[in-house]
Amino acid sequence: MVTVSVKWQKEVYPAVEIDTSQPPYVFKAQLYDLTGVPPERQKIMVKGGLLKDDADWSKVGVKEGQRLMMMGTADEIVKAPEKGPVFAEDLPEEEQVVNVGHSAGLFNLGNTCYMNSTVQCLHSVPELKSALTEYNQLGRSNDLDHSSHLLTVATRDLFNDLDKNVKPVAPMQFWTVLRKKYPQFGQQSNGAFMQQDAEECWTQLLYTLSQSLKSPNSSGSPDIVKALFGIEFDNRIHCAESGEESTETETVYSLKCHISQEVNHLHEGLKRGLKSELEKASPSLGRSAVYVKDSRINGLPRYLTIQFVRFFWKRESNQKAKILRKVDYPLSLDVYDFCSEDLRKKLEGPRQVLRDAEGKKAGLKTSGKTSSSTDGDVKMTEAEESSSGSGEASKTTQEGVLPEKEHHLTGIYDLVAVLTHKGRSADSGHYVAWVKQENGKWVQFDDDNPIPQREEDIPKLSGGGDWHMAYICMYKARVVPM
pLDDT at 377 over 60: no
pLDDT band at 117 (very low <50, low <70, confident <90, very high): very high
pLDDT of residue 219: 46
Is 113 catalytic? The answer is yes
Query: Which of 238, 265, 430, 473 does the annotation list as catalytic?
Result: 430
For residue 206, what are the CA distances in angstroms to 42, 46, 260, 353, 355? 36, 42, 28, 33, 33
pLDDT at 46 over 90: no
Q: What is the DSSP letter of 183?
A: G
Least confidently predicted of 80-84, 161-165, 209-213, 298-302: 80-84
pLDDT of residue 49: 84
pLDDT at 376 over 60: no
Rounded Cα–Cα distance for residues 38 and 168 (Å): 9
CB 247 within 8 A of CB 254: no
pLDDT tens, residue by residue, 438-476 = 889 999 999 999 999 999 999 999 998 788 999 999 999
Rounded Cα–Cα distance for residues 260 and 220 (Å): 42
The number of CA neighbours under 13 Å toward the Cβ of 136 is 4
| Overall average pLDDT of the 330-353 stretch | 96
Please provide residue 339's backbone torsions phi and psi, each rounded to the nearest 5 degrees: -95, 155
pLDDT of residue 392: 36
pLDDT of residue 264: 94
CB 262 within 8 A of CB 269: no
Asked: is 2-71 a CATH 3.30.420.10 domain? The reply is no
Higher-pLDDT residue of 8 and 388 is 8
pLDDT of residue 379: 39
| Overall average pLDDT of the 316-336 stretch | 88
Query: Which of 113, 121, 201, 339 does the annotation list as catalytic?
Result: 113
pLDDT of residue 89: 52
Greatest mean pLDDT among 221-225, 294-298, 366-370 lies in 294-298
pLDDT at 277 over 50: yes
Average pLDDT in the chain: 84
DSSP code string of 423-465: SS-TTSSEEEEEEE-TTS-EEEEETTEEEEE-GGGGGG-S-SS
pLDDT of residue 380: 38
pLDDT of residue 393: 40
pLDDT of residue 382: 37
Rounded Cα–Cα distance for residues 412 and 405 (Å): 18
Rounded Cα–Cα distance for residues 354 and 382 (Å): 10
| Overall average pLDDT of the 233-238 stretch | 94
pLDDT band at 359 (very low <50, low <70, confident <90, very high): confident
Structural domain spans, the chain: 2-71
pLDDT tens, residue by residue, 157-196 = 999 999 998 899 999 999 999 999 999 999 988 888 898 9
Is 430 catalytic? The answer is yes
With 0.85 as the threshold, say if the pTM is over it.
no
